Structure 1
Amino acid sequence: MRKITIIITVLVAINSLYVSKAFAESSPSLPTVASEAAILLEANSGQILYDKNANSQMYPASVTKIATAIYAIETGNLNDIVTISSNASARNVEGTTVFLEKGEKVPLKKLIQGLLINSGNDAGVAIAEHLSGSEEQFSKDINTYLKNVIGVRNTNFENPHGLFNSEHRTTAEDLAKITRYAMKNETFGKIFGTKELEWDGQTWDTTILTHHKLVKEEIPYEGVTGGKNGFVNQSGYTLATTAERDGLSLIVITLKGSMKNDAYNDTIKLLDYGFENYRTSIIPKGTKFMVEDQEYIASEKIAYTHPKNEQLSKEINEDGTLEIITQDGVVTASYQLKKVLNETHNVKTELKNKSTNEVKFESIFGHLNPYLAYFSIASLLSIIGIFYRQKI
C-alpha cells in the first residue's frame, strides 16, 4: 500500500510539473520595462498587447512632432511656400533646428521633413504660424483636431515641437493612437521612415539624418518602419517606434526613460514580445455570414490580434454582432456586421405593408397572378349563381 501511495505521489508531482510548464508556455511572461510608461499596440486591430501606466499624463518632448506633422499634412497644402518669420528663425528657437533664417522661403512639405527627420524646432514654429497664424492659436487648433478627428482623451499640447511647458502633456496610449492614425497616411509614413535627406537651405546645405537609432539602423532590428525620439530634462527619454513583420504591425511608445538606452532596450523588448507571441488574423471585406436564414456581410476589413497558440472561434448573434471567442469562452473582440436584405426578407416586408384584405385574399388564393386570381373569383361567383338559379 505504501509503494502504491509513493507511486501516485510521484505521478501527481510529474503531472503538476507538466501542467505548470504547459501553462507557462501558453502564457508568455510580460517583459520588464524600465521606462515609467509604455504601450505596445497592434495597428491593424487597434488592440493593446502591453501597457504600463499608459494613461498617466507625462511630458512627451519631441514625439509631439508626430501630431504636428500629421495635422500639417491633413490640413495644409504641402506645396505652399512658407516665409519664415523672425520668431520661427533658428536664432530665436531653442534646441535642435534646421537653421531656418528670417525671410527664407520653404515649402511646407520640406518643413515637415525637417521637423520629423532632424527634429527641427524652428520648422515646428514655422508650420504652426503658417497654419494658424500663431503658436497660441495652433495649440487650440491641434488640440481640437486630436480630440475630434483622432479621439485622444488625455492630451493637451501647448506648442508644435515639445519643448517643455508644464501644461504640455499626453499619455502613451494617446500617442499610440496618434501614431496609428498618422501611419495610415502615405506621405506621413514615408517621412516617418526616412533615414536621411539632402537639405538645401538658405544658410545650411547638408544631409539631415534621423535621430532614431532603430530607423537609421545604428541598432539593427528587422521590420522597423519609422520612429521619432525625444528628450528634455523634465520628460526624460521618450520614443515612438513602428515595425511590421508577417502582417503584424506594431507601435511602441515609451515615456520617461531615465537613460537613452532605457527607451531603446524597452522598445526592443516590447517588439520582441509582440512578434514572438502574437499574430493578427484578417476577415476580408465582403465576407458573408449566415444566421438561420438571415445573411450578414463584413462591410470593412476586420482584424483581430491574438496569441499564436490560441484557438479561437467565431459566433454571430441574432443582431449581426460577430464575436471572437477564446477557447475558455471569453469574448476577446466583437464587430457589428451589416445586414443583407435578401429576397425572403423583402417578401416578408411586403406582406407586412399590405392591407388586411390583401393578406386575407392571398391566404385563400396564394401568390397567384392578380388577373388569374380575379378570374378565379369571377368563375366561382358564376358557379354559385347557376347553382342558386337551379335551386329556385
Structure 2
Amino acid sequence: MSLALEFRGADVLHPGGLSRAPLSIAGGRIAAGGGRAVDMSGFTILPGIIDAHGDGFERHLAPRRGAMKDIGAGLIAAEAELAANGVTTAILAQFYSWEGGMRGPDFARSVLDGLAQTRPEVVTDLRVQLRFEISMLDDYDAVRALIAAHDIGYVVFNDHLPHEALEAGKRPPRLTGQALRIGRNPERHLEAMQALHAGMDRVPEALARLTADLAAAGIAMGSHDDRSAAMRAGWRAMGVTIAEFPETMDAAEAALAGGDSVVMGAPNIVRGGSHNGNASAVDLAAIGCVHALASDYHYPSMRRAAFLLSDAGICNLAGAWHLVSKGPAQLLGLADRGDLGAGKRADLVILDSASRRVAATLAGGRISYMAGAAAERLVA
C-alpha cells in the first residue's frame, strides 16, 4: 500500500536546486500537500534513481558458475540491492547472444519468465533491455516474438564477434576459456563464430527490417560501443537513436550533433576514466555530451558519480542528479517520473545529508528500503 506522508525539514532537490519546502506524497504520486507529517531534518530527498542499463543483477542469478537454479530468488535479491542504492526504476540489461551461458538465448528466456513471475513481489520497477547480437541471423524472428511476448520496451544492438581475428583465420584470444566456461567444445565454439562471421553480409538487410518493425512498435533502440561518427550515423539512419557507452569522443559528439542520446557508465566517472581506455565520461559530461548515466556493472556508482560531478564543479547538484533521474526517464520515454513535480510517481531516495548514504528509498510511494534514523521516523 502506498503511503500518504508530508516530509518536513529536509533539503528537497528540484530542477532549480534544493528547497526546504515540505514534500507530500499520496496515492503513489507526488501530492500538492497533506499526509502524516514526518520530520526529515538532516536528510536530503532526491528523485529516485533510474538505471538505464545495468547487469549487476547477474551476480545474484548465478553467484557461482553454473549455479543458475532459482531465477526468482536471484531477482528478489537483486531488487534489494537496487533499492539499497536508491534505484527506483531498473533496466536489467540481458544478453541474447551466441556467447552462451548467461548470455545465451535460453538463459534470456529464463530471466524473462522469472521476471514476469517476480514483478508482483517487488517494489522497484524492474524492466528489461534485450541486448541482441546482430550476427545471429537465424534468431531474428525468435527475437521479434520474444520482445512482443514480454513487452520489452528497449532493445540494444551488439556485435561482439572478433571479426579481425576471424577474417585473418586466427583463433580469437580467450577462445578456449570462453568455450569451457559455457560448457562448449572450443572447436565447435570456433566453428559457430566463423559461421556467424561468414554471414555478416546478410546482416544489414535483416537488421533494417527488424529496426523498422521495432520503431513502428514504439520500442526504444540503442547501439553499444560506437567507435566512430560514421558508425553512429549508420545506426541513426535505422532509427537507433541511443548511443550506449560510445568508445570515442568522435562517436559521442556525432551522437550529440545528430540529436541522439548518449548513455555513459557511472563507474567510468567513479574510476576517473574508462577501465579499458575508451572515452572519459567525465570529459564528455564536462562538454554536455552525456544525457544519462547508467550503473553498468556497479549499482552504487550512480549516486557516487552524480556527487563527484557536482563536487568537481562540472555541473550543479540538480544538473548532476538529472543524469541519474530525469535524463534516463526522458530517453526511455518514462514521462511519469524523474523529478519531484506534483503528479509524478512518488519515486524518491532519501540520503543522510552528512554522509550521503541511502537512508530510504520509495518507489511509487511504497518503501523498498529504509534503515537507521530514517526508518525510525518513517514508521513512528
TM over 0.5: no
TM-score band by shorter chain is under 0.3
Structure of larger gyration radius? 1
Which structure has more RCO (C-alpha within 8 Å, separation ≥ 6)?
2
Q: TM-score, normalised by structure 2?
A: 0.26
